[in-house]
Copies of this chain bind each other. A is one copy, B any other.
Amino acid sequence: MPLSRRTFLGQMATAGAIAATPAVLRARPQTKPIVVDAAALRARIEALSVFGRPAGGTFSDGVSRVAYSDADVAGRQFVCDLMDAAKLEPRIDPAGNIFARRAGTDPSLPPILFGSHIDSVPNGGNFDGDLGSLAAIGVIEALDRASVRTRHPLEIVVWSAEEGVAFGRGLAGSRIVAGDVKPADMDAVWNGLRRGDGVRKLGGDPERIMNAVRPKGAHHAYFELHIEQGGTLDRGKTPVGVVEGIVAIERYTATITGFANHAGTTPMADRQDALVAASHLTLAVREAVTNLPGRQVGTVGQLEVVPNAPNVIPGSVRMTVELRDLSSEKLGGIIATIRERAKQIALTTRTQIEIADLSRNPPALASPEIQGVIERASTSLGLAAVRLPSGAGHDAQMMAQLGPMGMIFVPSIAGISHSPKELTLWPDTANGANVLLHSVLAADVL
């Protein structure tokens, strides 16, 4: 009978050696490290892609598995079936999140939670969310195969409605678990669908939504494996990214009021053209963001012209300004610069510009300890790793409110995401799953 994992890991932790060399490597010097079944992972990503695939399409035609859709329901059933087959007993919480638990050796310890989501944006790709969700199942199976028991219970999760596609205010299942929910949120209606009905369609219980909330400290740690959705790893040929945190996202609405007038009879000098002002402002946003060193980004993604006719001078424009960085302070400086420029633009174009707050997500920093765990797990597997921020939002961001959080990124070819062209090479998906596995094991002894 092999050394019980609990005893062994306890010894290693005491010796302080766990950090330098992965436990599994030292425990079985003659064997290869425990690994996730790469072929099964690939087969499952391909199988899941069928739910929401465009009619007549193939894997590379992407997926539209929008939250609460029939495709979402079918994809979730596919995942539950996999959990059943792995002798996990999936259960659905009131928010529609799918959880499954593997007991640890110490029932008094909180679980290590890991997973992701399987809903997609319309016309999205087959890796965003799917990889982290299916790899979580693979991790449990690998531990089963190796007969490894952890001290902490392991809990895997498939979060509901991560993409925030439906309803004005995205209300991901992870956000609900983190406590940012009130019963009235279930009454929101979008495209004729009441959110509560959507949650119920997923097997959730909108009447008991507050019961989905978990307290701070509910988890020993939260891990999420995800594709980068940016080009840093792909450009650098780096297989693993250790996420430093999820950037703050600040959104503003700029409303520019000019005067709609006849495009033929109004001399150029007399115009109060809201679109001319909006053009200046769009360029000012880019300038304010790029004038500072760093990785911050800023985007004018949405812009609406009123009345929007070829022969009428635009009377008003409403546009969004989105800023992202790990530092809220830096974003504060940038929006101040933009407001200053907006004042000048309003004067020179004889328009009024009002910039209002739309939403504000604070940065969610990954725990430094967990970053170290991921980095060492990578190194132990012979995989180079770099630290980088996540420019995209993730369920991990919500979990950071409840306890230590860490994310593992794998490369996205050309950084393309939210597109059928989204692509991560199969070896990279397997690397990511293995880093997840060994990070979970390392965290178990922290």
Contacts and interface: CB of A to CB of B under 8 A. Distances in A.
Interface of A: 228-232, 247, 249, 251, 260-268, 270, 273, 275-276, 278-280, 282-283, 286, 289-290, 295, 297-305, 308-314, 320, 322, 324, 358, 390-393, 415-419
Q: Which 5 A-B pairs have the closest CB atoms?
A: A230-B265, A264-B391, A279-B279, A263-B299, A265-B391
A298 B232 CA distance: 42
A262 B417 CA distance: 7
Given A249-B311, A276-B283, A301-B310, 4 more contacts: A230-B265, A231-B266, A263-B391, A304-B308
Contacts of A304: 308
A424 to B, nearest CB: 14
Given A276-B283, A282-B276, A283-B279, A266 B301 contact: no
B265 A415 contact: yes
A366 B300 CA distance: 46
Contacts of A249: 264, 311
Contact of A312 (B295, B390, B418): B418
A280 B251 CA distance: 23
A50 B264 CA distance: 28
Nearest to A122: B307
* Most B C-beta atoms less than 10 A away, residue of A232, A280, A282, A391: A282
Contacts of A266: 230-231, 297, 391, 415
Contacts of A264: 229-230, 247, 249, 297, 324, 390-393
A280 B286 CA distance: 12
Contacts of A416: 261
A302 B299 CA distance: 21
Contact of A268 (B268, B275, B289): B289
A300 B258 CA distance: 14
23 contacts: A230-B265, A249-B264, A262-B391, A263-B301, A263-B391, A266-B391, A273-B286, A275-B282, A275-B300, A275-B303, A276-B300, A279-B280, A300-B314, A301-B310, A301-B313, A302-B310, A303-B305, A303-B308, A304-B308, A310-B320, A310-B358, A311-B322, A312-B418
Given A263-B299, A301-B313, A231 B270 contact: yes
A201 B254 CA distance: 45
A122 to B, nearest CB: 9
B278 A299 contact: no
B301 A229 contact: no
A305 B358 CA distance: 20
Contact of A265 (B261, B280, B322, B392): B392
Contact of A418 (B262, B297, B415): B262
Nearest to A295: B267
B297 A302 contact: no
Given A251-B310, A282-B275, A303 B301 contact: no
A276 B286 contact: yes
A303 B303 contact: yes
Contacts of A415: 261-262, 265-266, 270
Nearest to A164: B311
A352 to B, nearest CB: 18
A380 to B, nearest CB: 27
Contacts of A297: 263-264, 266-268
A42 to B, nearest CB: 24
Given A279-B282, A308-B302, A313-B301, A419 B267 contact: no
Contact of A310 (B282, B290, B322, B393): B322
A185 B119 CA distance: 48
A265 B231 CA distance: 8
A232 B314 CA distance: 21
Contacts of A260: 419
A309 B302 contact: yes
Nearest to A229: B265
Contacts of A303: 275, 303, 305, 308, 314
A306 to B, nearest CB: 11
Contacts of A311: 249, 299, 301, 322
A289 B276 CA distance: 13
